[in-house]
Structure 1
Amino acid sequence: MRTLLWLVFGVVLGAVIHIGVILALPRLATNDLWSEVERLDALGQVVILPAARAGEPNPFRLDPELAYAVCRIDLREGPGVVSGVLPAGFWSLAVYDRAGAAIYSTTNRDGIGRNLDLGIFNRAQTRLLATQQLDIAEGLLIVESHGDDVFVAVRMALPHQVMRARFEADLADMVCGNIS
C-alpha cells in the first residue's frame, strides 16, 4: 500500500513539473518572434522586409510572392497609429502582441479600400477614449491591446514581381508610431 502511495505521488509530482516546464518555456525563449522583430529596429517606423529567396534564411517564414512591412509600437508612449494609402491590389494587416498572438487582423476586402487608418490603444487609453478624454481623428479604426508592446505586419499580394519595388515604396510611405 505504501509503495502504491509513493508511486501515485511520484506520477502527480512528475505531471506538475512537466506542465510547469511546458508553460514556462515560451516565456524563457530568447529566439522567439518578438526577438526577431526587435532586431529589425522597427520601433515607431516602418521596416520593409527583404523578399524571401530560396536557399537563404527565412526566420519569419515569408511567402516570396508577397511584400511585407513591419513596425513596432510601444503603447506606453501613447496610443499607436498606422495609416497610409495602399495600392488597389490585395493587402492584409495584423496586429500582434508580445507573445506573437494576433489581436486584430483585417484586409482591404473588409470595406476599408485603399485607405488604412488604424489606432491601437491599451486598456487605459481605451477608457480615456470612451470618456472622450482623448482626441482622435474621425474614422479611425480602433483596436484595443491587452499589453503595451505590439507590432503590426502588413502583407501585400504582388500581381507581378516587377511591381515589387513600387509596392514596397507604398508600404514604406505608411505612418506607424504613436499619436502625438
Structure 2
Amino acid sequence: MIRTLLWLIGGVLLGGVIHIVAILTLPLLAEETTWTRVAALDAKNRVLVLPPIAQGQPNPLHLDPELSYGLCRLDLSEGPAYLSGSLPDAFWSVALFNTSGIVTYSTTNRDGIGQTVEMGIFNAAQTRLLAQQQIDVEEGLLVVEASSNELFVLLRLSPPHEVMRPRFEEALSQITCGPRPSN
C-alpha cells in the first residue's frame, strides 16, 4: 500500500515537472513570434502606419480595431534612436517592446507630455555616454534606456470618431523614428 502511494506521488511529481518544462520551453520553439511578424514589415527606422483591422479578418498582432497604430523597428547598435513629432489632441500612447514582445517602457499623453513626442531611446552603453555628457541631447527630451538593442516602438492613437481616422493616421505618418541624421 505504501509502495503504491510512493509510486503515485512520484508519478504526479514527475508529471508536474514535465508539464512545467513543456510549458516554459514551447514558446522558445515557436517559429512565428511577434518579433518575426514585426521584422517582416517595412518599418526599420521609420513609422509604418498599420492598416485598420477589419472585423473578422486576421489580426496577427492582436491589435484593437478601434485604435490607429504606427510601428517602428529599431536597432540601437547603430546608435541612439529618436522618436519625434506631434500627435492629435486625443488619447495616445507609446510603448517599447523587446524581441520577446514584452513591453519595456510605456507612456501616454496623460503623463503630462502633451501632444508632442520627443523621446530619445538609448542602450546601456549610450546612457553611460549620455551621463558623461558625451552625447548631446536637446532640453526636454524624454530619455529612455532600452534593455536590448533590437526593439520596436508601437504608437497607438484613439480617434474619437471613425471619420477622424485618416487625419490621425496622417499625423502618425509624420512622426520621425530612428537615428538622428548627421548634419
> Matches of 2:26 and 2:125 in 1, distance apart?
30
Partner of 1:154 in structure 2? 155
Give the drift of 1:30.
Answer: 1.7
Q: If the length of structure 2 is used for normalisation, what is the TM-score? A: 0.88
Partner of 1:29 in structure 2? 30
Question: Percent identical across equivalent pairs?
Answer: 54
Partner of 2:135 in structure 1? 134
1:43 maps to a residue whose letter is K
Partner of 1:67 in structure 2? 68
Partner of 1:56 in structure 2? 57
> Which runs of 5 or more residues in structure 2 are unaligned?
none
> Which runs of 5 or more residues in structure 1 are unaligned?
none
Partner of 1:163 in structure 2? 164
Q: Relative to 1, partners in 2 of residues 1:5 and 1:63: Cα closer, same or farther, differing over 3 Å?
A: closer
> Matches of 2:108 and 2:145 in 1, distance apart?
18
Partner of 2:82 in structure 1? 81
Q: If the length of structure 1 is used for normalisation, what is the TM-score? A: 0.89
> Matches of 1:123 and 1:4 in 2, distance apart?
54
RMSD, aligned α-carbons:
2.0
Q: Which runs of 4+ in 1 moved over 4 A?
A: 1-17
> Matches of 2:148 and 2:21 in 1, distance apart?
23
SS at match of 1:63: coil
SS at match of 1:164: helix
Is 1:121 aligned to 2:122, yes or no? yes
Aligned length: 180
SS at match of 2:39: helix
